[in-house]
């Protein structure tokens, strides 16, 4: 008979010995081949990237995990991504949002401070490079729309790399400036004030086209430069992967691969930084503050200083990602930094598990895929139905008559809202709850 | 007469009216004084010359000419904020929790009211309505908005907040943010499916758009018409009636006493035989009802609504509640009126005083500046009392 | 010189004066108890000493320097550690992490060294871990529980973790707020001995609030009695036992009133 215990036994068996290795490889193969052969299928892509989950979750040794992950990220994904550039875009977005989520996770998950204006720091990074990496400096005297098109660029595109670091510092400083006055506040007030700060940044971005044109207003700044891409890199990529991809890869696509890899690099760095901080007196102090502020301060933890550190660290990640985003899009505009974006990132953190590094990455991936693939896929499907003669049986409603205003791709709020409510009620710790580090305790052997 | 005052506590009816008048006059007078003084000071400077060049009026004339309308507008929006702020403050008083979804409760009220009016218009009833009927119809729309919002607020509490009672503070807050976002898109979904669009405009009917003219004031080259739109008067009047009613309910009835008891000390109130859950539901009902009415009034005043219409009024009303001292009913009144006035003054005069560098486009974030300042310098608000944490 | 000196310390909550002109002195190496009926202001007094509350009036001197106006974390860094009446552990952190948090201001690591994992960082972490582990043993917790979440420990265990966490700060003065509350007689006996060992072996001065008279009488060298925010008596256990004010404060109210009058006679 079927029983829960037997099922769990079965699962446990799947997770021992060589079986997990086989399962992972099979999953990766199926996903990769499927995506390779039908690059437009959404299902195939979901199957493919979920292999990362299998890889993460199943019980295999570290070297296998690491090498499989590396091959997936550095070889398989670029190849598949170039065949359908949309996937590369999704992977890039996942990386960007994962970085933002990891940053917000420090603030919310570790230190327990609800920051509802987090994308403001992202905006700081994006506008920093948006301003210095474009012609905007020379466009200051001109109102939006009337600047001459032949203005020079202020800095060479390769300054991009330097600006990633500058953005880290500037965003961290912004975090400290905002944090200093407000971090003494109670948690729920802090949430509203940060929300306000986020709106302030957005409104400033919208309106600082006068008296001096610093942001070019609602139209945004474009073109923002990318770092240079040498021809040999394009040729090299083609020589190496051209055969298996099946067509010559353009420079634009190599750029996409480049930004994807760069985002990946940033993510890996962030993960390292976050987990190392978490496993030091700083991380312990953050968690202590989250658990009980009064006890923490009585134990000698300087509250404001540690909260500022959390704010600044979280902000710096967003700042770095902002620069990356501005360059990859060659465009910044206030729209990308709305309150909804902040809530989107919050949703990722909550869904994945506050305080849990693998959790928030999963959260970022899930929400991004839901957002970019499922909702948009649904939209596409509806618009196809609208063009057909199909009718809903029983109520006899012709799809044709369905309002064109109904576009599921625009219903992100519904998605975010539903996730937030359901998670809070049913699984407040998230999909992958945070686990405390188990210490080996060398001292144990003494006795 | 004696019997009457025994059953109805006249003092509790008059007190809030007095407070509202005091807050309105006081706030209005102070701000007017400030801008007029500023205008006098800056008239001969570059600021005055800049205005002269742009509009060919002197700064002082400009200020004085705009002042009456600014005061009326400020008060109108101030009373709307106050009505919304009461919803935040009551819930905060009882549960120590920011009902982030209150702004959508407000929006739903606006939509229900407006949809009813649109339906009546499409049925040809609005255009045929006499003045008396028009007022009745407006009342109907108000009541419908109030009912819908009231029950929605109760439902939201039951579904999304009650299961989380006792969880860490941020948990219900995050749930409330979720509800807020969820409801925005639900409104949009329902409107899209049923009407095909989600930006709605309140139909014009009755004489609400007309202006009552009190007189004219010659002012140098220009004459200022002293008048007020009837709908502004309606907004203020309805808000005042509701605020007085609420104050009475909370301070002079048995239910009000129970609400205050639960706000003071929930466990003890529960031991005393008060059904805490019922009182919390009633609190949400009252707050939601006020929010719904504020929604309809807002639509009447600003005519256009969309599913996201609640966001800014909601945040500003929250600011108003904090400004006044959260948990404190009189504070919410004060905060709403002061914030409405401040914001309208800033929106109207900032451009003139900054030589056009910054103007009304910063109106929406102006409130946040105030919020931050209040929280830093007077975190318990203008009227709030000090509550320190117990160790 | 006195280690701790409180002079005319007054703390009010609105109309209520929770601590009223409290004068108090503590010498290095003493074990002193503060007793008094519920609501007497004992915990409030502790909170003013540790900077959680700022007294309206009075002076507090620790090693001769004033503590007034310092933040709680600064006071902790000066060498005063405490436990709480209603245990305040970091429930979702492991036992050993709780203890490590207590060492926060002794650890020299910073963001840079933590991220780059310098050798000095690794060494310090290992030492801290070993030290935390010793403390866990010291307060009598089974070391196999080190990785357990603090909230999963039984009540008595949590009280001990709180003491270990306070000891981790390597204080000169340890404030214990009802450390034996809710313990069974055997546990009470154990922690009483533990307190004495802490004083004797670690040379930490101890000030404790306790309702359990067996603990108080056995361990204290001096007892201070509070009632309605004021110190009504002070002296050796024997003196306090026979002090009529004290008996009145404790027993003079409520059902046992008649019985105690006989006792006084
Ligand atoms: N944060 C506070 N706000 C208002 N009143 C307070 C606060 N903390 C304590 N009190 C009041 O101060 C008085 C003293 O309280 P305190 O907790 O210091 O007493 P205690 O002697 O520790 O009592 P117990 O033995 O019950 O712990 C009590 O009346 C209490 O209600
Ligand atoms: Mg106490």
Taking only residues 8 to 47 of chain C, the set having a beta carbon closer than 8 angstroms to any beta carbon of chain B reads 13, 43, 47
User: Which of B174, B184, B195 to mutate against chain A (most A CBs within 10 Å)?
Assistant: B174
The shortest CB-CB distance from A185 to any of B171, B180, B375 is to B375
Position A328 in a domain = yes
Model confidence band, residue A2 (pLDDT cutoffs 50, 70, 90): low
Instruction: Give me the pLDDT at residue B384, please.
Output: 65
| Separation of alpha carbons C24 and A7, rounded Å | 66
Subunits with 3+ C-beta pairs closer than 8 A to A:
B, C
A76's tokens: 């398989």
Mean pLDDT on B227-239: 90
| Separation of alpha carbons C154 and A164, rounded Å | 50
* Smallest Cα distance from A226 to chain C, Å: 29
Does B164 reach chain A within 8 Å, measured CB to CB? yes
Asked if B259 and B94 count as a contact pair (C-beta separation under 8 A), the reply is yes
| Separation of alpha carbons B347 and B341, rounded Å | 10
Q: Is residue C128 pLDDT above 80, yes or no?
A: yes
Enter the pTM of the model: 0.90
Determine whether the shortest distance from the Cβ of C38 to ligand 1 is under 6 A.
Answer: yes
Chain B residues within an 8 Å CB radius of A191 = 98, 170, 173
User: Do A73 and A28 fall within a single domain?
Assistant: yes
Mean pLDDT on B294-304: 94
Which residue's C-alpha comes closest to atom 25 of ligand 1? C38
Mean pLDDT on A87-91: 86
Position A153 in a domain = yes
Model confidence band, residue B215 (pLDDT cutoffs 50, 70, 90): confident
Instruction: Give me the pLDDT at residue B187, please.
Output: 94
Residue of chain A whose Cα is closest to the Cα of B363: A203
C138's tokens: 């010291």
Determine whether the shortest distance from the Cβ of C44 to ligand 1 is under 6 A.
Answer: yes
Taking only residues 181 to 240 of chain C, the set having a beta carbon closer than 8 angstroms to any beta carbon of chain A reads none
Lowest mean pLDDT among B91-100, B357-366, C62-71, C139-148: B357-366
Instruction: Give me the pLDDT at residue C258, please.
Output: 41
Average pLDDT, chain B: 87
Between C262 and A252, name the one with better pLDDT. A252
| Separation of alpha carbons A377 and A374, rounded Å | 5
Model confidence band, residue A88 (pLDDT cutoffs 50, 70, 90): confident
C-alpha distance from residue A441 to each of A446, C90, C105, C114 (Å): 10, 20, 22, 19
Does A446 reach chain C within 8 Å, measured CB to CB? no
**Which residue, of A354, A372, A394, is where some domain finishes?**
A354
Instruction: Give me the pLDDT at residue A441, please.
Output: 58
DSSP helix/strand/coil, A427: coil
Give the number of beta-carbon pairs within 8 Å between A and C. Answer: 123
User: Do A224 and A141 fall within a single domain?
Assistant: yes
* Smallest Cα distance from B263 to chain A, Å: 18
Chain A residues within an 8 Å CB radius of B197 = 403, 405
Q: Is residue A446 pLDDT above 70, yes or no?
A: no
**Closest-CA residue to B37 (of B69, B66, B59, B65):** B59
Q: Which ligand is nearest to the CA of C37?
A: 1
User: Do A59 and A200 fall within a single domain?
Assistant: no
Q: Is residue B355 pLDDT above 90, yes or no?
A: no
CA distance from start to end of chain A: 49
Instruction: Give me the pLDDT at residue B369, please.
Output: 83
Taking only residues 138 to 157 of chain B, the set having a beta carbon closer than 8 angstroms to any beta carbon of chain A reads none
Taking only residues 296 to 315 of chain A, the set having a beta carbon closer than 8 angstroms to any beta carbon of chain C reads 296-303, 309, 313
Average pLDDT, chain A: 87
Chain C residues within an 8 Å CB radius of A298 = 50, 52, 72-73, 76, 82, 84
Position A398 in a domain = no
Q: For residue A96, say if its preceding peptide bond is cis, omega within 30 degrees of 0.
A: no
Chain A residues within an 8 Å CB radius of B322 = 189, 192
Q: Find all residues with CB under 8 Å of A291, minimum gap 6, and list them.
A: A112, C89, C90, C91, C92, C93
Determine whether the shortest distance from the Cβ of C18 to ligand 1 is under 6 A.
Answer: yes
C68 CA → ligand 1 middle, Å: 20
Position A250 in a domain = yes
Mean pLDDT on A419-443: 83
Instruction: Give me the pLDDT at residue A47, please.
Output: 85
Mean pLDDT on C86-95: 94
Instruction: Give me the pLDDT at residue B298, please.
Output: 95
B114's tokens: 């407006």
Instruction: Give me the pLDDT at residue A445, please.
Output: 41
Model confidence band, residue C131 (pLDDT cutoffs 50, 70, 90): very high
- Tell me the domain boundaries of chain B: 2-377
| Separation of alpha carbons A170 and A128, rounded Å | 9
* Smallest Cα distance from C228 to chain A, Å: 25
User: Do A281 and A313 fall within a single domain?
Assistant: yes
pLDDT in tens, B65-82: 888 889 999 999 999 999
Q: Any idea which residue has 């430069």 for tokens?
A: A225
**Which residue, of A354, A382, A405, is where some domain finishes?**
A354
Determine whether the shortest distance from the Cβ of B390 to ligand 1 is under 6 A.
Answer: yes
The CATH number, out of the four listed (1.10.3470, 1.10.520, 3.40.50, 1.10.150), of the domain defined by the range B2-377: 1.10.3470
Number of domains in chain A: 2
Mean pLDDT on B102-131: 92
Position A376 in a domain = no
| Separation of alpha carbons A127 and A136, rounded Å | 10
SS (H, E, C) A238-280: HHHHHHHHCCCCCHHHHHHHHHHHHHHHHHHHHHHHHHHHHCC
ipTM of the complex: 0.91
User: Do A128 and A33 fall within a single domain?
Assistant: no
CB-based neighbours (< 5 A) of ligand 2, an ion? C 43, 85
DSSP helix/strand/coil, A166: helix
Give the number of beta-carbon pairs within 8 Å between B and C. Answer: 7
Q: Which ligand is nearest to the CA of C84?
A: 2
Model confidence band, residue A240 (pLDDT cutoffs 50, 70, 90): confident
Number of Cβ within 10 Å of residue C66's Cβ equals 11
Average pLDDT, chain C: 90
C27's tokens: 């010498």
| Separation of alpha carbons C161 and C142, rounded Å | 11
Model confidence band, residue B385 (pLDDT cutoffs 50, 70, 90): low
Mean pLDDT on B149-161: 96
Mean pLDDT on C146-150: 93
Mean pLDDT on C54-75: 94
C44 CA → ligand 1 middle, Å: 6
Q: Is residue B3 pLDDT above 60, yes or no?
A: no
C209 CA → ligand 2 middle, Å: 8
Spell C223-257 as b/e; 16+ CB within 10 A means b.
bbbbbbbbbbbbeebeebeebeebbbbbbbeeeee
Model confidence band, residue B357 (pLDDT cutoffs 50, 70, 90): confident
User: Do A294 and A164 fall within a single domain?
Assistant: yes
Chain C residues within an 8 Å CB radius of B391 = 43, 47, 52-53, 84
Determine whether the shortest distance from the Cβ of C223 to ligand 1 is under 6 A.
Answer: no
Asked if C181 and C85 count as a contact pair (C-beta separation under 8 A), the reply is yes
Q: Is residue B299 pLDDT above 90, yes or no?
A: yes
| Separation of alpha carbons B355 and A275, rounded Å | 51
User: Do A229 and A327 fall within a single domain?
Assistant: yes
Calculate what percentage of chain C has a pLDDT beyond 70: 94
Q: Is residue C72 pLDDT above 60, yes or no?
A: yes
Kindly write down the DSSP assignment for every residue of A90-140, as one continuous string: HHHHHHHHHHHHHHHHIIIIIT----S-THHHHHHHHHHHHHHTSSHHHHT
Q: Is residue B391 pLDDT above 50, yes or no?
A: no
C114's tokens: 């933590």
**Taking CB atoms and an 8 Å limit, are B391 and C47 in contact across chains?**
yes
- Dihedral sign of CA atoms A410, A411, A413, A419 in order: negative
pLDDT in tens, A274-308: 999 999 999 999 999 999 999 999 999 999 999 99
Residue range of the domain that includes A68: 1-83
CA B39 vs. chain centroid, Å, equals: 29
Model confidence band, residue C261 (pLDDT cutoffs 50, 70, 90): very low
Kindly write down the DSSP assignment for every residue of chain C, as one continuous string: --SEEEEEEEEEETTEEEEEEEEEEE-TT-EEEEE-STTSSHHHHHHHHTTSS--SEEEEEETTEE-TT--HHHHHHHTEEE--SS----TTSBHHHHHHHHTGGG----HHHHHHT-HHHHHHHHHHHHHHHHHHHHTT--GGGTTSBGGGS-HHHHHHHHHHHHHHT--SEEEEESTTTT--HHHHHHHHHHHHHHHHHH--EEEEE-S-HHHHHHH-SEEEEEETTEEEEEE-HHHHHT-HHHHHHHHSSSTTHHHHHHHH-
* Smallest Cα distance from C227 to chain A, Å: 26
- Tell me the domain boundaries of chain C: 1-79+172-265, 92-170
Instruction: Give me the pLDDT at residue B366, please.
Output: 82
Asked if B75 and B340 count as a contact pair (C-beta separation under 8 A), the reply is yes
Does B252 reach chain A within 8 Å, measured CB to CB? no
Calculate what percentage of chain A has a pLDDT beyond 70: 98
Instruction: Give me the pLDDT at residue B7, please.
Output: 66
Q: Is residue A409 pLDDT above 90, yes or no?
A: no
Calculate what percentage of chain A has a pLDDT beyond 90: 44
Which residue's C-alpha comes closest to atom 3 of ligand 1? C13
Instruction: Give me the pLDDT at residue A1, please.
Output: 53
Instruction: Give me the pLDDT at residue B34, please.
Output: 92
Determine whether the shortest distance from the Cβ of C41 to ligand 1 is under 6 A.
Answer: yes
Q: Is residue C33 pLDDT above 90, yes or no?
A: yes
Instruction: Identify the CATH class of C1-79+172-265.
Output: alpha beta
- Dihedral sign of CA atoms A203, A209, A213, A216 in order: positive
Q: Is residue B129 pLDDT above 60, yes or no?
A: yes
**Closest-CA residue to A212 (of B50, B357, B353):** B357
C208 CA → ligand 1 middle, Å: 16
Which uninterrupted H or E stretch holds B219? strand B211-219
**Which residue, of A354, A383, A409, is where some domain finishes?**
A354
Q: Any idea which residue has 């310090």 for tokens?
A: C124
Which residue's C-alpha comes closest to atom 14 of ligand 1? C41
């Amino acid at each position: 008979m079927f029983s829960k215990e037997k099922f769990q036994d079965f699962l446990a068996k799947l997770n021992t010995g060589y079986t997990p290795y086989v399962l992972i490889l099979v999953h990766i193969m199926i996903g990769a081949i499927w995506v390779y052969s039908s690059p437009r299928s959404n299902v195939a892509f979901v199957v493919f990237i979920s292999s990362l989950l299998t890889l993460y979750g199943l019980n295999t040794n570290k070297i296998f995990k690491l090498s499989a992950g590396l091959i997936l990220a550095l070889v398989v994904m670029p190849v598949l991504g170039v065949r359908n550039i949309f996937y590369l875009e999704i992977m890039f977005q996942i990386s960007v949002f994962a970085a933002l989520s990891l940053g917000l996770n420090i603030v919310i998950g570790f230190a327990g401070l609800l920051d509802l204006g987090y994308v403001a720091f992202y905006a700081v990074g994006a506008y920093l490079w948006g301003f210095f990496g474009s012609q905007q400096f020379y466009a200051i005297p001109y109102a939006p729309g009337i600047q001459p098109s032949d203005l020079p660029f202020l800095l060479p595109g390769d300054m991009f790399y330097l600006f990633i670091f500058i953005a880290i510092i500037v965003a961290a400083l912004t975090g400290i400036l905002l944090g200093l006055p407000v971090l003494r506040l109670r948690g729920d007030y802090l949430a509203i004030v940060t929300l306000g700060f986020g709106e302030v940044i957005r409104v400033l971005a919208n309106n600082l086209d006068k008296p001096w044109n610093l942001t070019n207003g609602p139209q945004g700044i474009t073109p923002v430069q990318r770092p240079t891409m040498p021809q040999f890199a394009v040729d090299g990529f083609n020589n190496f992967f051209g055969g298996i991809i099946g067509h010559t890869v353009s420079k634009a696509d190599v750029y996409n691969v480049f930004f994807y890899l760069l985002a990946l690099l940033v993510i890996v760095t962030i993960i390292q930084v976050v987990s190392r901080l978490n496993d030091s007196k700083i991380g312990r102090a953050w968690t202590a503050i989250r658990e009980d502020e009064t006890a923490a301060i009585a134990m000698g933890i300087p509250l404001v200083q540690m909260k500022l550190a959390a704010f600044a660290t979280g902000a710096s990640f967003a700042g770095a990602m902002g620069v990356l985003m501005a360059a990859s899009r060659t465009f910044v505009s206030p729209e990308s930094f709305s309150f909804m974006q902040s809530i989107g990132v919050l949703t990722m953190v909550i869904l994945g598990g506050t305080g849990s590094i693998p959790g928030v990455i999963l959260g970022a991936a899930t929400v991004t895929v839901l957002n970019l693939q499922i909702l948009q896929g649904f939209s596409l499907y509806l618009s196809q139905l609208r063009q057909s003669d199909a009718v809903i049986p029983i109520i006899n409603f012709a799809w044709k008559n369905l309002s064109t205003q109904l576009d599921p791709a625009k219903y992100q709020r519904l998605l975010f809202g539903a996730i937030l409510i359901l998670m809070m009620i049913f699984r407040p710790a998230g999909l992958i709850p945070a686990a405390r580090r188990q210490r080996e305790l060398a001292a144990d052997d003494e006795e | 007469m004696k019997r009457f005052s025994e059953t109805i506590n006249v003092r509790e009816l008059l007190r809030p009216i007095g407070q509202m008048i005091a807050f309105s006059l006081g706030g209005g007078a102070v701000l007017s004084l400030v801008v007029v003084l500023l205008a006098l000071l800056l008239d001969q400077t570059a600021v005055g010359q800049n205005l002269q060049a742009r509009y060919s009026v002197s700064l002082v004339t400009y200020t004085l000419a705009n002042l009456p309308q600014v005061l009326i507008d400020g008060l109108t929006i101030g009373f709307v904020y106050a009505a919304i702020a009461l919803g935040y403050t009551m819930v905060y008083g009882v549960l120590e929790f920011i009902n982030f979804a209150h702004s959508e409760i407000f929006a739903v009220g606006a939509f229900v009211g407006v949809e009813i009016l649109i339906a009546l218009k499409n049925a040809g009833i609005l255009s045929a309505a006499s003045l008396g009927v028009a007022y009745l119809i407006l009342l109907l729309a108000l009541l419908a908005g109030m009912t819908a919002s009231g029950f929605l607020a109760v439902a939201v509490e039951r579904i999304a907040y009650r299961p989380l009672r006792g969880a860490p503070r941020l948990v219900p807050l995050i749930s409330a943010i979720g509800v807020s976002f969820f409801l925005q898109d639900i409104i949009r979904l329902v409107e899209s499916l049923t009407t095909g669009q989600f930006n709605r405009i309140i139909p014009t009917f009755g004489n609400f758009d007309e202006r009552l003219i009190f007189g004219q004031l010659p002012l140098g080259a220009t004459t200022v018409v002293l008048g007020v739109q009837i709908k502004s008067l309606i907004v203020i009047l309805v808000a005042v009636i509701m605020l007085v009613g609420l104050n009475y309910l909370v301070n002079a009835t048995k239910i009000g006493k129970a609400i205050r008891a639960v706000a003071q000390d929930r466990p003890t109130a529960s031991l005393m035989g008060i059904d805490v859950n019922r009182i919390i539901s009633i609190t949400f009902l009252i707050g939601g009802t006020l929010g719904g009415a504020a929604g309809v009034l807002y639509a009447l005043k600003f005519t256009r609504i969309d599913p996201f219409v609640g966001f800014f009024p909601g945040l500003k009303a929250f600011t108003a509640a904090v400004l006044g001292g959260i948990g404190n009913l009189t504070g919410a009144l004060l905060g709403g009126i002061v914030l409405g006035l401040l914001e309208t003054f800033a929106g109207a005069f900032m451009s003139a005083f900054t030589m056009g560098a910054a103007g009304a486009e910063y109106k929406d974030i102006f409130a946040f500046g105030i919020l931050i300042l209040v929280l830093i310098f007077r975190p318990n608000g203008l009227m709030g009392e000090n509550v320190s944490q117990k160790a | 010189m006195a280690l701790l000196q409180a002079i005319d310390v007054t703390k009010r909550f609105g109309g209520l004066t929770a601590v009223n002109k409290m004068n108090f002195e503590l010498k290095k190496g003493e074990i002193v108890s503060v007793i008094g009926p519920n609501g007497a202001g004992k915990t409030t007094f502790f909170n003013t000493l540790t900077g959680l509350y700022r007294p309206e009036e009075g002076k507090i001197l620790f090693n001769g320097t004033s503590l007034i106006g310092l933040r709680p974390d600064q006071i902790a860094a000066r060498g005063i550690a405490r436990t709480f009446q209603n245990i305040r552990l970091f429930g979702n952190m492991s036992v050993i992490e709780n203890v490590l948090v207590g060492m926060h201001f002794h650890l020299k690591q910073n963001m840079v060294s933590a991220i780059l994992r310098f050798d000095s960082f690794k060494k310090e972490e290992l030492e801290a871990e070993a030290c935390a582990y010793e403390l866990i043993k010291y307060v009598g917790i089974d070391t196999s529980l080190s990785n357990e979440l603090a909230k999963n420990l039984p009540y008595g265990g949590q009280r001990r973790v709180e003491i270990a966490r306070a000891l981790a700060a390597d204080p000169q003065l340890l404030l214990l707020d009802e450390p034996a509350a809710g313990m069974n007689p055997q546990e009470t006996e154990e922690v009483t001995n533990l307190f004495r060992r802490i004083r004797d072996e670690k040379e930490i001065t101890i000030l404790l609030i306790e309702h359990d008279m067996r603990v108080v009488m056995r361990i204290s060298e001096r007892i201070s009695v509070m009632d309605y925010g004021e110190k009504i008596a002070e002296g050796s256990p024997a003196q306090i036992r026979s002090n009529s004010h004290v008996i009145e404060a404790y027993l003079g109210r409520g059902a046992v009133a008649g019985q105690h009058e006989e006792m006084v006679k």
